[in-house]
Chain A
C-alpha cells in the first residue's frame, strides 16, 4: 500500500516526481549498425564519402570517422552539393523519389568527393565549404574563402601535388600537340552555360588518358547531339509542311463543296423560274 501512495516532495530519502521527458528525435547513429561492418567496408565507405581515415587504424576510429563525416554531410545544404557538381560540369546523380533527404545528400556527397580539381575559381562560398567537407576537411562553417582554400591545399599531400603538376605539364604539352583551346561550351555538356574547360585542366584532374578520352567523348556527344537536333528540326519542318498542305487541302475541299451547293441552287432557281413561267402561261394563255 505504501508503494502505491504518492510521496510528498521534499522529504528526506524520497525522490521528487520528475517532469515528463519530451520525445527526442531518434539518433541516426544509433541504428546504423556500423559495429557489424568489417574494417575494409568501413574504410571504403568513409573514403567514398570523403572522410579522412588515413590515421584511423582501429575499428572504433573508423566508425567514429564515418559517423562524423555523415553528420557533417547531413549539416550541408542539398543545393550547395548540387552547386558543386554543376560547377564541376558533372551530371547530377539519379535520386529516387523514395529517398530521404539524408540519402540524397550522401549520394550527392559521394559524387562531390570524386571531384579532384584544385582550381576553385567560380565556385561559391557555400559550394567551397561543401567541397571541403566532402574532402574530409573539418570546417566550422564560418571560415572565409581564403581559409577554406588554404585548408583544401593543405589537405593535398606532396605526392598528390607533384602528380598534379606533372599531369598539368602533360596537359599543356598535349594541348599544344593537339591544338585544342577552350572554346564554346558544348550543348551536350551537363552544364552548357558553363564555359568549356581547357584540355590541360581535364588532364590535370583526371590524367592524360582519362582527360583525352573525356574530351573525345564530349566531342562525340556534341556531334551526336547536333545530328539529333538536325533530325528533329527536319522532322519539325516536315510536320509543318504536312500541316500546311492539309490545311490547303481542307480549304480547297470546302470551297469545292460550296461551289457544288451553289451550282445546285442556281439550277434549282432556274428550274423554279421556268416552272413559274410555265404556270403563268398555262393559267393565262390556255
Chain B
C-alpha cells in the first residue's frame, strides 16, 4: 500500500501554526473593527467616551509593565533563534 512521505509531526506543527495564526488575526481584526465602529459614533456621550478612552490610553504607564514586556521580547528573540536553527536543520546545515 502506497503512503505519501509525510512527517506527522511537521504536518501537525504547520497546521497548528496556520490555524492559530488565522484565528488570532481574525478575532483581533473583528474586535478592533467593532471598537472603531462603536467609538466613531457622532452622539455626545460617545464623543465624551472616545475622548476618555484616548486620555486613559495616554495615561498608561509603560514602565509598570516593563518586566513582562522585556520577557516577551526575550522569548521572541529565542523563538527567532530556534526558527533560524530549524531552517538550518531542514537545509542540512545542522
Instruction: Find out whether the CB atom of A251 lies under 8 angstroms from the CB atom of B64.
Output: yes
User: Is residue A56 within 8 Å, beta carbon to beta carbon, of the partner chain?
Assistant: no
Contact with B along A44-75 (1 / 0, CB 8 A): 00000000000000000000000000000000
Cα distance A250–B56 in the bound complex, in angstroms: 8
Closest to B86 in A: A276
Contact of A261 among B72, B89, B92 (CB under 8 A): B72
Cα distance A273–B60 in the bound complex, in angstroms: 35
Closest to A274 in B: B9
Chain A hits for B56, CB < 8 A: 246-247, 250
User: Is residue B69 within 8 Å, beta carbon to beta carbon, of the partner chain?
Assistant: yes
Chain B hits for A269, CB < 8 A: 75, 78-79, 82
User: Is residue A265 within 8 Å, beta carbon to beta carbon, of the partner chain?
Assistant: yes
Residue pairs across A and B with CB atoms within 8 Å: the count is 58
Using a Cβ–Cβ cut-off of 8 Å, how many residues does chain A contribute to the interface with B?
24
User: Is residue A213 within 8 Å, beta carbon to beta carbon, of the partner chain?
Assistant: no
Instruction: Find out whether the CB atom of A276 lies under 8 angstroms from the CB atom of B89.
Output: yes
A11 to chain B, nearest CB (A): 83
13 of the cross-chain contacts (CB-CB < 8 Å) are A246-B56, A250-B60, A251-B60, A258-B65, A261-B72, A265-B72, A265-B79, A269-B82, A272-B79, A272-B83, A279-B89, A282-B7, A283-B92
Residues of A within 8 A of B (CB): 246-247, 250-251, 254-255, 258-259, 261-262, 265-266, 268-269, 271-273, 275-276, 278-280, 282-283
